[in-house]
């Protein structure tokens, strides 16, 4: 019963955030309408309040709207750029590297930006084909990663069950429910029905201490090795095994939400075992958390197959 109540509360929070977002966006749409009217452009609002313009005619596999983290916003190559360049999609994105699922769920500014992208697409006369959501990696990796681990020499080495439950099965899960609820409500408000949403897990990383370009730049890293070292894990095979358990736990949480009421329009994409963790792993992994160009190509192929 308590779990059902938590879900209902998270859905309600998402709906309330969506309602507040839509009110702000309605004011912005009205302002845009007045500006365009003053410029004597022949653009009219729809019954939903969304402005319509002449459809843009061009070859495209469809329009996608994305919210997410660095897997969607990575220098030089990422999933979104691959979807555009290799699969012919047009992508409108509010993704930003370093974002957490909690930040996406509870930040009004991010929901406003998402709603703005929906409005922008609809003004072209096109309905988005899908919403892509990438989130959660930054909630478990980085400075706070060590707290998920019991010390290697303790009586219970490995993941700390109670903390992992709190972070993934409670905090991240509630944030996901909230953002899925909010995004769904925004789409219904603009279109009258939900748009398919694709969420994904991550692949099994190799915690070898490699950061972004040697540990500098927009998100230097490393994100896993320092925590392992602090908790006494020196053997790579032990580190990798713990990472497998953590990713499996995260994927299980996401898979438990997708395709089930009230998220029947949500698809879960597993990316596990897409990238090698064997002797050639550096050709697939640019660092501890991000694929190489070759890796992103392999991951994006799976996205294209489910969109």
Q: Give 208-217 pLDDT, tens digit per residue.
A: 999 975 544 5
Task: State the burial class of residue 260 (Cβ atoms within 10 Å of its Cβ: 0-12, 13-18, 19+).
Answer: exposed
- How many whole angstroms separate alpha carbon 169 and alpha carbon 171? 6
Distance of CA 178 to the CA centre of its chain: 13
Helix (H) or strand (E) holding 172: none
Per the CB < 8 A criterion, the answer to whether 180 and 260 are in contact is no
Alpha-carbon distances, residue 188 vs 24, 118, 141, 220 (angstroms): 16, 11, 34, 39
- 126-139 average pLDDT score: 95
Residue 267 to residue 271: CA distance in whole angstroms: 13
pLDDT at 195 over 90: yes
CB 187 within 8 A of CB 179: no
Angstrom CA distances, 141 to 114, 177, 202, 276, stand at: 25, 21, 12, 20
What are the residue ranges spanned by the domains of the chain? 2-306
Residue 273 CA to its chain's centroid (Å): 19
Mean pLDDT of the chain: 89
By DSSP bridging, strand 149-150 and strand 158-159 are antiparallel
Nearest to 243 by CA among 102, 165, 140: 140
**86: how many CB neighbours lie within 10 A of its CB?**
13
Quick one: DSSP state of residue 157? -
- Domain 2-306 in CATH 3.50.50.60? The answer is no
Instruction: Express each pLDDT in 7-48 by its tens digit.
Output: 899 999 999 989 999 998 888 788 767 766 776 555 455 545
Helical residues (DSSP H) of the chain, grouped into ranges: 2-38, 79-87, 101-106, 108-122, 137-140, 161-164, 173-191, 225-230, 236-255, 293-306
**For residue 101, what are its two tokens?**
């699922």
Contact of 60 with 129, CB cutoff 8 Å: no
- Provide φ and ψ at 67, rounded to 5°: -130, 135
pLDDT of residue 200: 97
- The first and second tokens of residue 117, run together, are 């992208």
**Predicted local confidence at residue 274, as pLDDT:** 98
pLDDT at 34: 77
As a whole-number percent, the residues of the chain with pLDDT over 70 amount to 89
Share of the chain above pLDDT 90, in %: 76
Residue-wise pLDDT for 98-121, tens only, equals 899 999 999 878 899 999 999 999
Rounded Cα gap, residues 93 and 58, in angstroms: 19
On the question of pLDDT at 51 being above 80, the answer is no
């Amino acid at each position: 019963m308590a779990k059902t109540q938590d879900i209902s509360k998270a859905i309600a929070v998402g709906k309330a955030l969506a309602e507040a977002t839509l009110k702000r966006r309605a004011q912005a749409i009205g302002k845009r309408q007045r500006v365009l009217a003053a410029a004597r452009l022949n653009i009219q609002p729809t019954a939903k309040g969304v402005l319509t313009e002449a459809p843009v005619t061009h070859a495209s596999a469809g329009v996608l709207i994305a919210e997410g983290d660095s897997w969607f916003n990575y220098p030089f190559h990422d999933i979104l750029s691959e979807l555009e360049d290799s699969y012919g999609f047009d992508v409108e994105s509010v993704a930003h590297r370093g974002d957490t699922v909690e930040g996406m769920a509870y930040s009004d500014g991010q929901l406003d930006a998402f709603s703005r992208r929906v409005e922008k697409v609809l003004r072209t006369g096109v309905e988005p084909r899908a919403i892509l959501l990438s989130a959660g990696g930054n909630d478990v990796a980085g400075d706070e990663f060590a707290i998920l681990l019991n010390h290697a020499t303790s009586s219970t080495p490995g993941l700390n069950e109670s903390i992992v439950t709190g972070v993934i099965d409670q905090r991240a899960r509630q944030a996901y429910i909230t953002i899925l609820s909010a995004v769904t409500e925004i789409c219904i408000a603009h279109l009258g029905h939900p748009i398919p949403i694709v969420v994904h897990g991550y692949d099994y990383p190799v915690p070898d201490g490699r950061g972004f370009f040697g540990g500098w730049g927009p998100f230097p890293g490393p994100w896993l090795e320092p925590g392992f070292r602090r908790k006494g894990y020196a053997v790579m095979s032990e580190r990798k095994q713990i990472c497998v358990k953590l990713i499996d736990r995260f994927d299980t949480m996401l898979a438990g939400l997708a395709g089930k009421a009230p998220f029947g329009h949500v698809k879960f994409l597993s990316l596990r075992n897409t990238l090698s963790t064997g002797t050639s792993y550096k050709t697939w992994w640019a660092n501890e958390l991000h694929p190489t160009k070759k890796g992103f190509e392999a991951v994006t192929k799976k996205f294209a197959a489910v969109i």
